[in-house]
Amino acid sequence: MNLGFHKKEKLKSRKLIEQLFAEGAALKKFPIKVVFMVEKEAQGHQAAFSVPKRSFKLSVSRNRIKRQMREAYRLHKHLLTNESGRKFVMIFIYLDKKKPQYAQIDSSIKALLKQLHL
């Protein structure tokens, strides 16, 4: 089982991100919302992480939350693998206005990935 979060797994394409917000579906498990869609041409699952500047003015706070979300995704991304070969493109968005505990982020991302797997 590969637990890394490699460059090819990071969602960076501006066109794909715009398409994701236009056509994607969303799931929410407080304090995280995931916008996703199934991409046929993707090599593997791709993910991006976002924390609104409106809620957290200091970049240190935003980066810390994004780092925690990436870590939780990295540890639980194996929940997405299935036999159907569906490849997801997704963006995780932090919704709360206060700084979270890692356990809260971890449980939310784990629950969201389980819902996506179904």
Q: What is the CATH number of the domain that holds 44?
A: 3.30.230.10
- Cβ(108)–Cβ(65) below 8 Å: no
Residue 62 sits in which domain range?
7-117
- Give CA–CA dist 91/109, Å, rounded: 11
pTM value is 0.92
The answer to whether residue 18 sits within a structural domain is yes
Average pLDDT over residues 49-70: 97
- Cβ(88)–Cβ(24) below 8 Å: no
Q: Quote the radius of gyration of the chain (alpha carbons, Å).
A: 14
Instruction: Give the three-class secondary structure for 68.
Output: helix
The answer to whether residue 78 sits within a structural domain is yes
Confidence band of 105 (pLDDT split at 50, 70, 90) = very high
Domain count, the chain: 1
The answer to whether residue 93 sits within a structural domain is yes
Average pLDDT over residues 11-39: 95
